[in-house]
Amino acid sequence: MTRKKKKKGGLQSFFAKKKKNRSKRKKTASFVTGLKIALSILFLTILVAGGAIGLIYMDRYVNFNRYVDNTGEPQTPDGSLKLMDPPIWLNQEWVDTLIAAAGGRRFPLDQASAKAVAERLSTLSWLENVQVQTTPEYLTVKADYRRPVGWIRAGRNQKVYIDTDMTVLDYIPVSTIPVIEIRGMASSGIPGPGQKWLADDAAAGVELLNWLYTMDLHFQHEKGESGEGTASLLEKKIPGKPLLDEIESVDVSNFAARKSRSASNLVLTVTDGTRVYWGAAWGQANVYFEADEKDKLARLYQFFMDHGDTLTGTAKYIELRWPQDSIPRPR
C-alpha cells in the first residue's frame, strides 16, 4: 500500500517558498555584484591605459613644441654634459674647469656638438682618450683622468702637478686626495702642461709617493670591509687614516747620492718637520745595501700604527734604510 506524500501547507509551505526565493535572489545578486566588479575593473584598466596613452602623446606633443621655432620648423634639442665614471677625487673646481673648457653648460644634442666638445676637452692636460657621445638628454663625456701625485714649484708664484707617468698637469686646488710637494730637483726647466718631464729625480719622488698612496688605498679598502670600529682595525692591523695625509714633502736633492754617499737619497718630511730617511729610489735598495722596499713600507706603517696612526711628535727622525727592529730615534 503506497503511502501518499503529505503536501506541505500553511506556514510551512510559505516559509519553504520564501527560502527558495531568497536563495534565487542571492544567486542573482551575487551574479550582478560580480558583473559590476568585473565591469569596474575593466573600466579602470581602460581608463589607466587611456591615461598612459594620453600622457605619451602629450609628452610627444610637448617635446615637439619644445624643439620648434616660431615658424614651426623642428630644432635640435639641447642638453647638459654628463661625466661618465669620474674619479672620486674630482672636486668641484676641476668640474668647473672642465665645463669652461667645453664651452658652456648646455649644448645642441648632435654629432657636430659632440665632436666640438671632445676637441675642446682634449686640450686639458689632465684628460686623455676623451670620448663624447650624444644621447636624447645629454652629451656624455668619457675620459681617462690623470691623477696628480706631486706638485712642484715652477716659478715664484706658479705650481704644476705631476702624475704617475711624469706628465705635467695644470695646477687646480684639490682637497679630496693628498698631493705632496717634491723638492730638490736638479733641473728647473719644467715643460708645459700636457708634456712629459724627463727628470729621474722627480720620477723617483713620484714613484715613492705613488706607493704610499697605493698602500693607503689598500688599507682604506680593508677598513671599509672591516668596519669603523677601533677594535676591528687593531685586530686586523689596519691604520685608521691615510699615512700620506701626514707627509708634507719629499726631498730628492740627494738622488743617486749625487751630494753625499752616506746621506739618504730620498727624504720624506712629516707635517711637524720630522724626517723619514727612506733611502734609495724604488728598486735601487740593493745597490746601496739597504733594506728591501717592501720591508721599509711594512716598518713605516707598523710604526705609524704603533703610535696611534701618526708620525708627528713620535721621534727625532725615522730611519728606514737599515734592517733593524727599532727604527725611530727618540728625542
Q: What's 121's domain CATH number?
A: 3.10.20
Taking only Cα atoms into account, the Rg of the chain, rounded to an integer number of angstroms, comes to 38
The stretch 317-323 carries a mean pLDDT of 95
Tell me which residue range forms the domain holding 243. Answer: 150-329
d(CA 298, CA 284): 17
Nearest 10 degrees: CA dihedral of 70, 72, 76, 79? 60
- Quick check: 172 pLDDT over 90? yes
If one counts every other C-beta atom within 10 angstroms of the C-beta of residue 314, the result is 18
Residue 224 and residue 311 in one domain: yes
CA proximity to 132, closest of 151, 116, 148: 116
Per-residue model confidence as pLDDT tens digits over 89-116: 999 999 999 999 999 999 999 999 999 9
Q: Give the relative orientation of helices 293-306 and 200-226 as an angle to the nearest 10 degrees.
A: 50
* Lowest-pLDDT choice from 24-38, 210-224, 227-241, 274-288: 24-38
pLDDT classification of 331: cutoffs 50, 70, 90: very low
Q: What is the pLDDT of residue 234?
A: 52
Q: What angle do CA 316, 310, 235 make, to 5 degrees?
A: 130
Residue 173 and residue 127 in one domain: no
Residue 113 and residue 183 in one domain: no
- Quick check: 56 pLDDT over 60? no
Per-residue model confidence as pLDDT tens digits over 241-250: 999 999 999 9
In a domain, 72, yes or no: no
Max avg pLDDT among 50-54, 70-74, 148-152, 216-220 = 148-152
Residue 141 and residue 231 in one domain: no
Residue 140 and residue 154 in one domain: no
Average pLDDT, the chain: 82
d(CA 185, CA 256): 12
Sign of CA dihedral 296, 297, 298, 302: positive
Residue 317 and residue 225 in one domain: yes
User: How many domains is the chain built from?
Assistant: 3
Residue 88 and residue 184 in one domain: no
- Quick check: 33 pLDDT over 90? no
- Quick check: 62 pLDDT over 50? no
The stretch 307-327 carries a mean pLDDT of 88
Residue 121 and residue 217 in one domain: no
Q: What is the pLDDT of residue 37?
A: 55
Q: What is the SS3 assignment for 255? A: helix
In a domain, 1, yes or no: no
pLDDT classification of 73: cutoffs 50, 70, 90: low
- Quick check: 199 pLDDT over 90? yes
Residue 125 and residue 61 in one domain: no
- Quick check: 206 pLDDT over 50? yes
Grid coordinates representing 33 are 555584484
- Quick check: 55 pLDDT over 80? no
Edge-to-edge strand ranges of the sheet holding 266-270: 168-170, 159-162, 150-153, 180-183, 247-251, 266-270, 275-279, 317-319, 328-329
Which pTM does this prediction carry? 0.74
Q: What's at 103, amino acid-wise? A: G
Residue 231 and residue 141 in one domain: no
The region that residue 111 occupies, defined by phi over 0 for left and psi between -120 and 50 for alpha, beta otherwise, is alpha
pLDDT classification of 78: cutoffs 50, 70, 90: confident
CA proximity to 149, closest of 241, 250, 276: 250
CA proximity to 207, closest of 243, 164, 242, 170: 164
Q: What is the pLDDT of residue 244?
A: 98
The stretch 295-322 carries a mean pLDDT of 96
Per-residue model confidence as pLDDT tens digits over 221-239: 888 776 666 555 555 688 9
- Quick check: 66 pLDDT over 50? no
In a domain, 7, yes or no: no
Residue 238 and residue 311 in one domain: yes
Q: What is the pLDDT of residue 31?
A: 54
Residue 158 and residue 264 in one domain: yes
